Amino acid sequence: MIIAGNFKANHTRASTAEYLSALDSLSDQKKEEDSIVIFPPFTALDNYNLKNIKIGAQNGYPAEKGSYTGEICLEALSEFDIDTILIGHSERRHILKEPQDFIVRKYEFFKRNNFNIFYCVGEPIEIRQKGIESVMNYIDKQLENIDVGYQNLVIAYEPVWAIGTGLTASVEDIEEVHKAIRERVETPILYGGSVNASNAADILNSSFVDGVLVGGASLVAEEFYKIIKASANIS
Ligand code: 13P
């Protein structure tokens, strides 16, 4: 399983360091084959000395370096040996209006640089209400021109209506969508959207689920560790 935490624009440099040190010690008991990935804000990237946790970038501009005010390029990420990135998160698609062709450029760039790419897809509520066929048509558009055969790809299915709302997709809905995505890709498929310590076990035990991408419930190390424990069946 892959248990990933996306801090979004939460945590400072100091609180991230404290968090990582606490979570890294707690995670000594994690299942060997489980991977833990944390995506902190850029200002908290550093050369952490962690045994159990991998650090990823929440975003990146598709260039080595250059005149891209406010963006972070490959050179800056490489300083901290970052080789994992989130691309296509719904908050970047919707709030920051990133269009699919730009997302594809990012994907191609970071693929060329052998990054592990966590590529996010997911439908808004009005599409969900139309049923599974509309949901998959929507997701297919988000997969357009994305090389799904890339070996370092992880897909994160995050229905927009479930993100930060406390509404989680039902296990049946998750399995239905993941099964349909599984017909399109061979890479791991994570679920994201209001995953927490109470619902994690059910979600992680569902078919076609290879892990979770957690926002709000990843922000406190002890809470996030409960999700890691749910994966390892540790009580
Ligand atoms: P929440 O877990 O806060 O719903 O966020 C999910 C998410 O967007 C992770 O990338």
pLDDT digits (tens, 9 = 90+) for 42-86: 999 999 999 999 999 999 999 999 999 999 999 999 999 999 999
For residue 144, give the nearest of 192, 211, 88 by alpha carbon. Answer: 88
> Which of 136, 97, 121, 98 lies closest to 192, judged by CA?
121
89 is catalytic: yes
**For 119-170, what is each residue's pLDDT tens digit?**
999 999 999 999 999 999 999 999 999 999 999 999 999 999 999 988 888 9
Distance 66 CA to ligand 1 centre (A): 31
Pick the range with the lowest mean pLDDT from 10-14, 29-33, 54-58, 223-227.
29-33
Contact status, residue 195 vs residue 168, Cβ threshold 8 Å: yes
What strands, in cross-sheet order, belong to the sheet with 153-157?
53-55, 35-39, 2-6, 211-214, 189-192, 153-157, 116-121, 84-87
CA dist 108 and 94 (Å) reads: 21
Ligand 1 pocket, Cβ-based, cut-off 6 angstroms: 6, 89, 158, 163-164, 192-195, 213-217
Task: Give me ligand 1 centre to Cα 160, in Å.
Answer: 9
CATH number of 2-232: 3.20.20.70
Task: Answer whether residue 189 shows pLDDT above 80.
Answer: yes
SS3 184: coil
Task: Give the contacts of 86 (CB within 8 A, at least 6 positions apart).
Answer: 6, 39, 56, 57, 58, 59, 118, 120, 156
Rounded Cα distance between 198 and 219, Å, is 15
For ligand 1, atom 2: residue with the closest CA:
215
- Please give the model's pTM, rounded to 2 decimal places: 0.97
Cα angle 109, 111, 114 (rounded to 5 degrees) comes to: 120
In the set 91, 98, 123, 158, the catalytic residue is: 158
Q: What is the pLDDT of residue 83?
A: 98
User: How far apart (Å, rounded) are the C-alpha atoms in residues 17 and 185?
Assistant: 35
Q: Of all protein residues, whose CA lies closest to atom 1 belonging to ligand 1?
A: 215
- Residue nearest atom 5 in ligand 1 by C-alpha distance: 215
DSSP at 226: H
pLDDT at 235 over 80: no
